[in-house]
Structure 1
Amino acid sequence: MTIIQNSTVIQMPVGDVYTFLSDLNNHEQLMPDNIYNWSSSADEAQFTIKNMAKLALKINQRVENKELTCVPTNDTPFEVSLHWKVEEAGEGQTKATFIIEAQLNMMMKMMASGPLQKLVDHQVARLKEVLG
């Protein structure tokens, strides 16, 4: 299992950060420029990654003010899950961690690790920008 992650501290209470992340409609704001054809509801999102593939995700687990997990709803080239974890990082502050867990063989790991790390880094940075 390959685990790719990054964290940031946001100057907002855990509940506010969790509420934002638990609605997939808000995740469009976190996506890089190579994502288009976005459509979403609170629990599901569909989008296209430029020059790659269409992807559909759904939230399959919520632990209020702690964690949410998204999994693909369609076939993917490898097993993958996306996790956002939030925890208090001092008064009125939240540490938000984005984790991608992927079942990658050696060849896929060489090809996909870099782009997946860029995605994680981008989303964590955008979360901090959007939520201030």
Structure 2
Amino acid sequence: MNLESPKISVSKSPQQVFDFLADIKNFESLMPENISKFEVLDSDKFLFALKGMPEIILKKKEEIPPNKIVLGAAGGKIDFSLIATISQVNENSSEVQLDFTGDFNPMMVMMIKKPITKFIETLATSIPEAI
């Protein structure tokens, strides 16, 4: 399953956006209102839970400054990645798009596609205000 957020314009340089997203504690400010738990576990790992959903641990897997950050599932029964791609528009402006990829059975896809789509859209649209 591959899901994409809309491309979001940010009036910051790609490096500023990258630096913000590379600091995992900043993800707390991007989370939706229905978050029930957020905890930084390590310099590259955090745990979060949304109301009615199981806890998820994300770990920073890859960084390509200033254009890409890959977070992936750290443990658990499902393997997926959340990829932030940062593109330069001009000197003081960039675009960010979040991609969610995971290998799920068709039943799981039916259950999680809508909430995951909404989740990555919320994360992406929160970036310009949070930085």
| Common topology (TM > 0.5) | yes
What SS is found at the alignment partner of 1:107?
A: helix
Instruction: Tell me the residue number matched to 1:4.
Output: 3
**What's the RMSD between the two structures over aligned residues?**
1.3
SS for the counterpart of 1:39 is strand
Q: How many residues align?
A: 129
Question: How far 1:58 sits from its partner (Å)?
Answer: 0.8
State the 1:130 CA deviation: 1.7
Instruction: State the SS of the aligned residue for 1:94.
Output: strand
Matching residue of 2:67:
66
Give the alignment's TM-score, normalised by structure 1: 0.91
Q: Which residue of 1 aligns with 2:126?
A: 126
Q: Which residue of 1 is the match for residue 20 of structure 2?
A: 20
Residue pair 1:31, 1:123 contacting (<8 A) in 2 also: yes
Of the structure 1 ranges 82-91 and 8-17, higher mean CA displacement relative to structure 2 is found in 82-91
For structure 1, the 5+ residue unaligned runs are none
Instruction: Give 5+ residue unaligned stretches, structure 2.
Output: none
Give, as a single letter, the amino acid of the residue that structure 2 aligns with 1:62: E
Q: Distance in 2 between matches of 1:106 and 1:72?
A: 19
Between the aligned partners of 2:94 and 2:16, the Cα distance in structure 1 is 9
Q: Matched residue of 2:19: which SS?
A: helix
Identity of counterpart residues, as a percentage?
A: 22
Q: TM-score scaled to structure 2, two decimals?
A: 0.92
Helix, strand or coil at the partner of 2:66: coil
Q: State the secondary structure of the residue aligned to 1:75.
A: coil
Does the residue aligned with 2:36 lie in a helix, a strand or coil? strand
Which residue is 1:32 aligned to? 32
Q: 3-state DSSP class of the match of 1:89?
A: strand
